A and B are shown apart, each in its own frame.
Chain A
Amino acid sequence: MSGTVLAIEATDQPEFAGAWQYRNGVITLLNQQGYGVTVEDGTNAVSEVVSPIAADPTQNITFISGVGHGTANSFLGFARQPVFQINQYDPEVVENKIIHLTSCDTGDSLGPDFVQNGCIAFFGYSSLVSWNDDTTAAGWFECDAAIDVVLANGGSAQDAHGAAVKAFSDKINALRNANNGAGADCLEAILSCLCSPVIDPKYGRTDATLT
């Protein structure tokens, strides 16, 4: 039986408004592939709601995918409250799970901390991300969603990383060809801080797949 995906959406944060169309596409795909999906958004995107679900073995959560603000040590949900923070979560929350956080900075310390506590693969970004216009923002969300799409289709962490890199490279070229050099530079900077097991074993196993 396929596991369940826990999607955490900081829908109250307007910077991420462009992400939802790609997130909806991923959720639809996950459902089609037989995964259950639990979405916690708005005021439910908080640690008090999310952590018990993630840690409950009867929920069989195998993948956590979140969009929201981040810092080196924490992932933030509703009203920028920490959902996950180093030294503030139980290992059961992350154990045997793939975790993908679409946010700034979490790849710096939080991602490796997840892996040390049993997460099998982490995807995120180790620095600030930025964009010059809505087209570039949408480009980031689209390229980032390639990770979840590959995982949903049974690919490994390594496959997901490769798909994301290709998506970024294609989008960077497309922006350059459209004379949006500033946008291309933004995406290049984002790609340079993409974290995954392919980048470093501290982000987990390259052969990790969704179950």
Chain B
Amino acid sequence: MPRSKKKATPAKSAALVARSAQEAATPIVAVGKSELDLPAGFTADGSCMATLREVLDPKVPTRALRQLSEDHRFDLAAKRIEMSPETFRLVIPGHGTIDKVRGVAEVRDRSRIGRHLAELQCLAINRATKLGKLARRQER
């Protein structure tokens, strides 16, 4: 649901615009900057990925993770791993250490390991979104 301030008329909204600008400039301390720039959803029309910053911005219409198709979830997971630091690694007993290149390939193949990686990315998105929303609320 859009926030009530979004319904404010331009004439009445100067203070709200100023507040929005302040919000945009205020760092969301609970979530790292690099995480804010990672894809965490899709735009409302599903045409492109939305960063966590956009997902947290009430002025940007986005689809929540739970509203995404399986295709979109795998796309998001692959992109997030692709954008991870070069130090990305995950040990899966019996399957070795998964680095970025292999991680992206596994997710794109939708292999068992890829599905596991996608699940972890979804947990990360949920965690970051929750923290970001909490931080926004505390800032108000």
Q: Which of B35, B116, B124, B127 contacts A130 (CB 8 A)?
A: B116
Q: Contact between A189 and B120 (Cβ–Cβ < 8 Å)?
A: yes
- Residues of chain A contacted by B89 (CB below 8 angstroms): 132
User: Nearest 5 CB-CB pairs, A to B?
Assistant: A185-B123, A15-B93, A130-B92, A69-B94, A128-B116
Would you call A189 and B119 a contact (CB within 8 A)? yes
Q: Bound complex: CA of A131 vs CA of B91, how far in Å?
A: 5
B91–A137 touching, CB < 8 Å: yes
**Contact size range, A:** 20 to 34
A22 at interface (Cβ–Cβ under 8 A)? no
Bound-state CA distance A176–B84 (Å) is 18
Is B48 close to A, CB under 8 A? no
Q: Which residue of A lies closest to B126 (CB)?
A: A185
**For the complex, is A36 an interface residue (Cβ under 8 Å from B)?**
no
Interface residues of A (CB under 8 A from B): 13, 15-16, 69-70, 80, 103-104, 127-132, 137, 176, 179, 181-182, 184-186, 188-189
Using Cβ atoms and an 8 Å threshold, which residues of chain A touch B92? 104, 128-130
20 A–B contacts from the bound complex (CB under 8 Å): A13-B93, A15-B93, A69-B93, A80-B94, A104-B92, A128-B112, A129-B92, A129-B93, A130-B90, A130-B91, A130-B116, A130-B120, A131-B91, A132-B89, A132-B90, A181-B124, A182-B120, A185-B120, A185-B123, A186-B90
Choose among B90, B93, B98, B128 the residue that contacts A104 (Cβ–Cβ < 8 A).
B93
Report chain A residues within 8 Å CB of B112: 128
Partner of B93, one of A16, A182, A186: A16
User: What is the CA–CA distance of A69 and B124 in the complex, to the nearest angstrom?
Assistant: 26
Flag B92-131 by CB within 8 Å of A: 1 or 0 each.
1111001000000000000011001001100110011000
Check A185–B127 contact: CB distance below 8 A: yes
**From B84, which residue of chain A is reached at the shortest CB distance?**
A182
How many Å lie between the Cα of A137 and that of B89 in the bound state?
13
CA distance A106 to B94 in the complex (A): 13
The distance from the CB of B65 to the nearest CB of chain A, in whole angstroms, is 14
Kindly state the separation between the CA atoms of A70 and B94 in the bound complex, as whole angstroms: 8
- Which residues of A have CB within 8 Å of B124? 181-182, 185
* Cross-interface CB contact of A128 among B32, B35, B113, B123, cutoff 8 Å: B113
Instruction: Give the chain B neighbours of A129 by CB distance below 8 A.
Output: 92-93
Assuming the contacts A128-B112, A130-B116, asked whether A189 and B91 have C-beta atoms less than 8 A apart, the reply is no
In the complex formed, the residue of B with least CB distance to A179 is B32
Looking at B35, B113, B116, the one whose CB has the most chain A CB atoms below 10 A away is B116
What is the bound-complex CA distance between A64 and B73, given in angstroms? 40
Nearest A residue to B127 via CB reads: A181
In the complex, the answer to whether A131 meets B128 with C-beta atoms within 8 Å is no
Give the Cβ gap from A91 to chain B, nearest Cβ, in Å: 27
